[in-house]
A = this chain, B = another copy of it.
């Protein structure tokens, strides 16, 4: 069943059928009805590939993330997919893992598939040495980065003001006389750098020197965090509060410290389900993910209309207070 069949059965040319299909105004109402009737009766739907060939688009966006199995990215993918779908854009999902090589391949794959845009989820896509693969892809198709920033033509970024949020948090902790704040993080992404910058900003507000021994990298899983905390204590590194660059890190620290019998404010990041599932519930910084996704969609809409869009938008991040903060 193709457009020729429909044309024949309706007694019109394929051009007319095509016009009906594409809501062209240049079709007499009666003709349109007749064609639509045949289309309905035959249950016809146009071939997406042929349409893509003619139009150069299948109204698809590529979504890249390092792993949907990570709840934070899953959350983001969900939001992006939903926002886009509501605007008639569907998603090709591709997980890349952390290596630059795979990210590059994924980017090439998406451009070859003629997607209308590529959404990069997380600043982990921003390499600090070489982003030429992103630059190359951006020449073919708009690239949108959620919570990451690269200053490149064709690359549109939406970030969260995590720097300020951490700064405010540090300030609040200092006011409670918590001056040795342990900051746990995993991969040193753009986002992570912002958080650390915020940490330093906060210390600077109080003219307090930053003890680099308190900024500690650790793998993103409970066991690694537990080992890390124990090691720090054995090494005699003292601290009276913990901030995790991800909820899971904060949660790991919480469990570890609880086991040891230590009690102090613990704050996570992303305000994920984990935060509420922790005991006691974790205070967490919400980076405004959904708002970032809404803006991303707006940017893309603007671009698809061939208008210019802002290359960098920043949304606020805010602290969501829960037990792990109040109690201590």
Summarize A's interface: helix, strand, loop or mixed.
helix
Segment 88-142 of A: residues with Cβ below 8 Å from B: 90-95, 108-109, 112-114
In the assembly, what is the distance between CA of A321 and CA of B89, in Å?
A: 44
- One of A3-11, A28-36, A71-79, A306-314 at the interface: A71-79
Q: Provided the pairs A85-B94, A258-B279, A277-B251 are in contact, do residues A69 and B78 lie with their beta carbons within 8 angstroms? A: yes
Count contacts on A: residues with CB < 8 A to the other chain. Answer: 46
Q: A222: which B residues are within 8 A, CB to CB?
A: 276-277
Residue A48 at the chain B interface, CB threshold 8 Å: yes
Scoring A69, A108, A109, A251 by chain B CB atoms within 10 A of each residue's CB, the highest score goes to A69
B74 touches A68 (CB 8 A): yes
Closest to A274 in B: B277
- Chain B residue numbers with a CB within 8 Å of A60 are 92
Q: Which chain B residue lies CB-closest to A71?
A: B71
Asked whether A47 is an interface residue with its Cβ less than 8 Å from the other chain, the reply is yes
Contact check: which of B47, B58, B81 meets A68 at CB < 8 Å?
B81
Q: For residue A273, which residues in chain B have a CB less than 8 angstroms away from its CB?
A: 71, 248, 274
Q: Is the CB of A48 within 8 A of B113?
A: yes
Number of identical protomers? 2
Nearest CB of chain B from residue A288's CB, rounded to whole Å: 16
Most buried by B among A48, A58, A114: A48
Answer yes or no: A233 CB below 8 A from chain B CBs. Answer: no
Find out whether the CB atom of B63 lies under 8 angstroms from the CB atom of A53: no
A78 partner, pick from B68, B92, B251, beta carbons under 8 A: B68
Query: Would you call A206 an interface residue if the criterion is a C-beta within 8 Å of the partner chain's C-beta atoms?
Result: no
Chain B residues, Cβ within 8 Å of A79: 69
User: What CA separation (Å) do A75 and B53 show in the bound complex?
Assistant: 34
Contact: A58 with B258, CB < 8 Å? no
Instruction: Write out the residue numbers on chain B whose beta carbons fall within 8 Å of the beta carbon of A52.
Output: 48-49, 52
Please indicate the chain B residues that have their CB under 8 angstroms from the CB of A291 in the complex.
none
Out of B67, B92, B114, B248, which one reaches A49, CB within 8 Å? Answer: B114
Given A58-B113, A248-B277, A279-B279; 11 other pairs, CB 8 A cutoff: A47-B114, A48-B52, A49-B53, A67-B78, A68-B78, A69-B75, A71-B273, A85-B94, A91-B93, A91-B94, A277-B278
